[in-house]
Amino acid sequence: MLHLVNKSPFESMGFEDCLKYAAKGSSILFYEDGIYGALPGTAIADRMASVTSDYKVYVLKEDMMLRGIDKIMDGITEVDYAGFVGLVEENKTASW
């Protein structure tokens, strides 16, 4: 299962809601404003560190570039749109 999160975790409950129902070991992709969840050193960085140990977490490179973000936390994998497609090949999706 691939959970798609497109809202900033600082603005929306989407990410927390997703975690409530997402089975451990499933995949999460941050895209659009969701990518801000992958920033290092934020107020939710500790929380995110535990999330990365329970889930496979990805972030969409094109949306990072668009927003001038070039640093992400350890444990989160950058993918481009081709990688996004690859994740969808492997998983059915739920959009939060």
Q: Which residues of this chain interact with another protein, rule CB under 8 A?
A: 1, 4, 6, 13, 17, 20-23, 31-33, 62-63, 80-82, 84-86, 88-89, 92-96
CA distance 63 to 79: 10
Instruction: Please state the closest distance from residue 72 (CB atom) to another protein, in A.
Output: 19
**Residue 12 burial by Cβ neighbours in a 10 Å radius (0-12, 13-18, 19+):** middle
Instruction: Please state the closest distance from residue 27 (CB atom) to another protein, in A.
Output: 13
Helix (H) / strand (E) element for 53: namely helix 45-54
Closest CB to another protein among residues 45, 67: 67
